[in-house]
Structure 1
Amino acid sequence: MIQYTQTTVAADHVRLAVQLRGHGPTLLLLPGQANDHHWWDRTRNDFAASFTTVTFDYRGAGKSEESDRYSTRLFAEDALTVMDSLAIEHFHVYGASMGGRTAQWLAIIAPDRVRRLVLGCTTPGGEHAVERGDDVRLLLASHERDAALEDMMYTPEWRAAHPGPYQTLGDPTMSAKARHGHLAASNQHDAWDRLPEIVAPTLILHGTDDRFAPVVNAQLLADRIPGARVHTFDGARHGYFDECRDEASPMVVDFLSE
């Protein structure tokens, strides 16, 4: 499907790469940490028949410029700048992993603009979140990182039937500085006290076997966001949106279309 691209300039003059596809009401898709818009390559067309999908590369990733500042709140402010540049006032948001953390801030700081919110495989951050175990951190810091990350994203059975390369394992073009900035942004996220301010109808999705962001965080978020619903995918890992797309994508379309 034809994709339109443009460059938008953030308030601090950082240039952000923006991509649009599809037609209909607007759906902003937010990828995970240290990833660009290609995170959504496998699933994006699932939404393009019903929505105009908008993505942008976070500062420091993809075709966007690097920055001296990184935070999930700043990424949310960048998202608003992108939507302003496109003259889009109201939109749905679907954020996965760190994108879900960014989406939380977006719904908090722009309640009059976010129509519906989908949070995938994410956490509220801060001391109330249940973070990944030390064994996972050690694996991600070892020479076995790439293999470990693949295993945390997808089950062996699914990988056997869907060989890579996978677009969800990180943007290989990122500098070490930008990658560290994204890691710090995700680690420092804490929206716990502000989550009850979210007024957008919210759907929370998570794989039950997610070691990267344990599934207990889905209910933690639901307990803080008024009226939020939770759906878990049995046996799925962090990349449930790919592995369970036959169920997950229609569920998101139905929710956003209510």
Structure 2
Amino acid sequence: MADQIQENMLFSCVHEQHFGTEQLVVNHALSIVISGRMEIFTPEGSRFFEEGKMGIMRKNTLLKTRKHPALDGQPFKSFTIFLTEDYLQQFALQNSLPAQERFTGNHLYEIPEESFISGFFQSLLPYFDKPDFFTSKMAALKTEEAVELLLRLDQSFYGFLFDFSKPFKIDLEAFMQKNYLFNIPLVEFARLSGRSLSTFKRDFTKIFQESPERWLKQQRLLEAKNLLQSTNIRPSDVYLHVGFENFSHFSNSFKNYFGFNASRLFNS
């Protein structure tokens, strides 16, 4: 079974090392690694989640993932439940929760293995191989259970989950220098920086004296060259690290910009 979505649940199973293509967490994502391990790259650095590890990623977080099968040959498996803003707004209304201040804490929270949430995930494992049995009613019940358990685990989750404020206008230069390697549409860069697309493009050109598209390609190619010169990453892998969608586009862009093939640096 490959990745399969049922309602707001994601059942993931991959048999070979896999670099994720989705690089923006739109909704809060509560996850467990069932087998294998997952490497997570964020603007703050990278970390591994081994088998049995649980965590929650906050909405609007930029990240890259690399999934590794287990050393004994078992495929990588994980389970994720997405907590959407629409659902959480409804939950807050039904439970008369007060408005929350803008959340300023960590975007990735590792959940202790001894918490009740471990038992919550255990109750979901039978559905992993038979996701079609996971009905809409079951999804609603389990989503409510997940939220209740998080709130019982740590009071800070009230702010984490129920801050419904929109991204505000931030320092665009610092934001782009920190996040240019993430492959997301310009409209998402604009939204995360607290701007409309037209304002984003205008502010960007004023700051960088270049269009966003041209600047992003240039910065990603320069980083690719640096990685090829300083690491043992192959050109066929490096394009994923630097935000290109496919190897062909990366190869052509690299040769056009530098005047030689990326493989020349890897073999030198």
TM-score (normalised: structure 2): 0.28
* TM-score normalised by length of structure 1: 0.29
Of structures 1 and 2, the larger Rg is shown by 2
